[in-house]
Amino acid sequence: MTQLTHLTIEDALTGLKNKDFTAKELTEAHINAVEAHRDLNAFIVETPELALKQAEESDKRYASGNARPLDGIPFTNKDLFCTEGVQTTAASKILDGFIPQYESTVSASLFADGAVMLGKANLDQFAMGSANTTSAYGNVVSPWRASDGKDLVPGGSSGGSAAAVAARMAMGATATDTGGSIRQPASFCGIAGIKPTYGRCSRWGVVSFASSLDTPGPLARTVKDNALLLQSMSGFDPKDSTSANKDVPDFAAAMTGNIKGLKIGIPKEFKLDGMPEEIEKLWDQGIAWLKEAGAEIVDISLPHTKYALPTYYIIAPAEASSNLARYDGVKYGHRSEGAKNLNDMYAKTRAEGFGDEVKRRIMVGAYVLSAGYYDAYYIKAQKVRRLILQDFEKAYETCDAILTPTAPSGAFAIGENEDDPIKMYLNDVFTVTANLAGVPAMSVPAGLDANGLPLGLQILGKAWDEETVFKVGGIIEEAAQFSAMPQAILKKAA
């Protein structure tokens, strides 16, 4: 039998239907993989007992012919999704020991479709980071290794989710993307991930970071597997005021393999000064693949691209400072001992509970929202955000989708880019515009850099048109034939 942990979700579903193996066997194989790769620190909480119980229920449904769309598929849940009865921390000490009394809409949908939860994946604290080095539960280590043997970052903030999927611990994962937190780790870890249109997946029960940007989405090893997961995660939710009351199309069916005549935009502003040559080469390669498949390549302009990151670093901290005001040591989570009075308790609780990067962003947010600075920073950023959205609207008059690199480099070593917050922020230079404009964007593994580390290409689509993103993503995947395996897997297999 082929190794169960190496199957795609698509093939595993076929195998389960054909009774080649049981959901219990599939789950046990993944639980073993989770245990074997504990050195990567991809999980904050493992839930093997729950997983086995869910797998047994899946097996019963397979036996009675009532299998659900994702029955028996083991996944990991980013520890930002509230899970009823299972600790949820956002990788912060301030939520240490928090046991939600409710289930997030997205994870409830996955459970309703029969998916099996292996545990809660590590992440950057409150999803703030691009290297998974801000978690109160320690760094996640990428299953990939540099040739010099240094431990690499998996990217962030969904670093535990991405590492788990890449290391074949889980077949898929939930993740969230506020400025690139699905796509950049997907690129670094050699897997695929999609940030759908804002409003496609409910944010209810997801720990909030920046509410107008936060977007739940999946990570998996193939484009089709992403389609299967997103299908389950999507849909209208009255409990989220920004959830869209729209029909969810059949994402997998959109992967027809036919992009003849499709217009693919290439934004000239994404050609950055000092961009590594290999990134540019990969991008050219992607353009060539799409041309070969019959797409028409058109030059487009997204003139405000260079202002996207500074805009994001006003809006996201502003929303975060407001959202994170709820952590006060009263209702749940950490409370400082020995405070003299209520105000002292608030300030000490928050000082002890939040990590440095979270504090930095809350303070930036408090500053840009404060009297006298509100217009100059916050309103200004909201105006530039509209210009960025208009850039996309104008570009989509002449193209159907856009192709860019996902990240400006491959994975870097743990500890790099930590000396200056802005250096770390620049990781999201290609991804953040999609969040500001709310449009869907996917990263697909497309090649390796000079160090043998994965690089992704990003496909952006029109709002609500994930179908075209999946269609183009499928073409890139087919052309790239990305088959490289993380060294952690090869080592264990040897």
Partner 1 sequence: MSMDKDTVRKVARLANIEVTDEQIEAIGPQLSGILEWVEQLAEVDTDNVEPLANVVNIDLRLRKDEVTDGNCADKILANAPEETQGFFVVPKVVE
DSSP letter at 484?
A: -
Nearer to partner 1, 48 or 421 (CB): 421
CB of 57 to partner 1, least distance (A): 25
Distance CA 450, CA 458 (A): 20
In this structure, are residues 23 and 55 in contact, taking their beta carbons and an 8 Å threshold? yes
Q: Are 130 and 157 in contact (CB under 8 A)?
A: yes
Check residue 314 for interaction with partner 1 (CB under 8 A): yes
Smallest distance, Å, CB 355 to partner 1? 11
256 binds partner 1 (CB under 8 A): no
Q: Which of 328, 400, 428, 465 binds partner 1 (CB under 8 A)?
A: 328
Task: Please list every residue from 81 through 120 that binds partner 1, using CB under 8 A.
Answer: 97-99, 101-102
Instruction: Single out the residue of 61, 360, 464, 478 in contact with partner 1 (rule: CB under 8 A).
Output: 360
Q: Count CB-CB contacts under 10 A for residue 401.
A: 26
Residues 104, 109, 157, 202: which is the catalytic one?
A: 157
H-helix or E-strand containing 28? helix 23-36
Q: How many of the chain's residues bind partner 1 (CB under 8 A)?
A: 68
Q: Known catalytic residue: 135?
A: no
Q: Which is nearer to partner 1, 247 or 277 (CB)?
A: 247
**Does 217 participate in binding partner 1 (rule CB under 8 A)?**
no
* Rounded CA separation 114/237 (Å): 19
**Nearer CB in complex with partner 1: 266/442:** 442
Q: Name the residue among 455, 459, 468, 462 with its Cα closest to residue 441.
A: 459
* Between 141 and 437, CB nearer to partner 1: 437
**Per-residue tokens: 399:** 């193209």
Stretch that binds partner 1, among 169-177, 216-224, 288-296, 353-361 (CB under 8 A): 353-361
Rounded CA-CA distance 180/457 in Å is: 13
Q: How many CB atoms lie within 10 A of CB 14?
A: 12
Binding characters for partner 1, 116-155, by CB under 8 A (x = yes): ----------------------------------------
Rounded distance, CA 411 to CA 425, Å? 14
Amino acid at 357: E
379 makes contact with partner 1 (CB under 8 A): yes
Report the alpha-carbon distance of residue 416 to residue 451 in Å, rounded.
16
313 near partner 1, judged by CB under 8 A: yes
Catalytic residue among 181, 187, 234, 243: 181
Q: Is 279 in the site for partner 1 (CB under 8 A)?
A: no
* Structure-token pair, residue 145: 């290794």
Grouping H, G, I as helix, E, B as strand and the rest as coil, residue 217 is strand
Task: Write down the residue that tokens 């969040």 correspond to.
Answer: 435
Instruction: Indicate whether 275 belongs to the interface with partner 1 (CB under 8 A).
Output: no
CB burial of 167-202 (b: ≥16 within 10 Å; e: otherwise) equals: bbbbbbbbbbbbbbbbbbbbbbbbbbbbbbbbbbbb
Does residue 351 bind partner 1 (CB under 8 A)?
yes
**Region near partner 1 per CB under 8 A, out of 168-176, 180-188, 201-209, 239-247:** 239-247
Residue 246 vs 281, nearer CB to partner 1: 246
Enumerate residues 415-434 that contact partner 1 by CB under 8 A: 420-422
Rounded CA-CA distance 42/166 in Å is: 11
Question: Of 172, 265, 267, 329, which one interacts with partner 1 (CB under 8 A)?
Answer: 329
Per CB under 8 A, 203 contacts partner 1: no
Q: Which of 14, 344, 398, 415 binds partner 1 (CB under 8 A)?
A: 344
Say which residue the tokens 């048109």 belong to. Answer: 465
Q: State yes or no: residue 326 binds partner 1 (CB under 8 A).
A: no
Q: List the interface residues with partner 1, window 443-482 (CB under 8 A).
A: 463
Part of the chain binding partner 1 (CB under 8 A), chosen from 11-19, 24-32, 343-351, 464-472: 343-351
Nearer to partner 1, 148 or 337 (CB): 337
* Residue 152 neighbours by CB under 8 Å, 6+ apart: 141, 142, 144, 145, 146, 188, 411, 412, 413, 414, 453
Query: Binding pattern to partner 1, positions 38-77, x when CB under 8 A?
Result: ----------------------------------------
- 389: tokens are 């959205």
Are 462 and 468 within 8 A, CB to CB? yes
Q: Which position among 63, 112, 253, 330 is part of the footprint of partner 1 (CB under 8 A)?
A: 330
Q: How far apart are CA 73 and CA 9, in angstroms?
A: 7
CA distances, 428 to each of 335, 445, 458 (Å): 34, 17, 12
DSSP class per residue in 323-380 = HGGG-SSSSSS---TT-SSHHHHHHHHHHHHS-HHHHHHHHHHHHHTSTTTIIIIIIH
Catalytic residue check, 78: yes
Residues lying near partner 1 in the complex (CB under 8 A):
97-99, 101-102, 198-199, 212, 238, 241-242, 244, 304, 307, 310-311, 313-314, 321, 325, 328-335, 339-348, 350-351, 354, 359-360, 362-367, 370, 377, 379-387, 389, 420-422, 436-438, 463
The residues carrying an active-site annotation are 78, 157, 181
